[in-house]
Amino acid sequence: MTLVNRAAYPRDVCLEMTVLPNPGGSVTIRSALFDEPVRVERNRPQVNKVLRLPPGQYDVHFDSDAPRVYPLNDFRVLVFSVRDFRVSPVAGPLADSPSVAEDPRECGSQVKRAKDGRRASSPAL
């Protein structure tokens, strides 16, 4: 996966997703944007990460040690799934660290909200 910031300045964003490895395995997410890799176990599939996205393109790599599944009538080999992927702008400035929070309460509370309490629409990143 590639995250792209076409702006001429860094953008503070909240990266949210559910990562579900097949039973018996885990997924590790790596990127130059993270201070350290994010390891996702099946019993804790939520990933919520607030980070500073500098201008340019940044790859996000997914590695898994989960067993492969070969579904019937499907040519794909399945190891894990990513669901509900979302990148949202963060309200207000962040700390100097490029990777600020992994706690879902911190990430979710940082996302801009419209006046009626709904999530504000996300501009293209």
65-120 pLDDT tens trace:
999 999 999 999 999 999 999 999 987 655 444 444 444 335 654 444 433 444 44
Answer whether residue 35 is part of any domain.
yes
Average pLDDT, the chain: 80
Mean pLDDT to the nearest integer, 38-57: 92
The answer on pLDDT for 12 being more than 80 is: yes
Domain around 97:
2-110
Answer whether residue 94 is part of any domain.
yes
Residues 6+ apart with CB under 8 A from 41: 21, 26
pLDDT of residue 92: 63
pLDDT of residue 125: 39
DSSP SS3 for 110: helix
Answer whether residue 123 is part of any domain.
no
Please classify residue 88 by burial: count the beta carbons closer than 10 Å to its beta carbon, then call 0-12 exposed, 13-18 middle and 19+ buried.
buried
Work out how many domains the chain is built from and give that number. Answer: 1
What type of residue sits at position 61?
A: H
Answer whether residue 121 is part of any domain.
no
In this prediction the pTM is 0.71
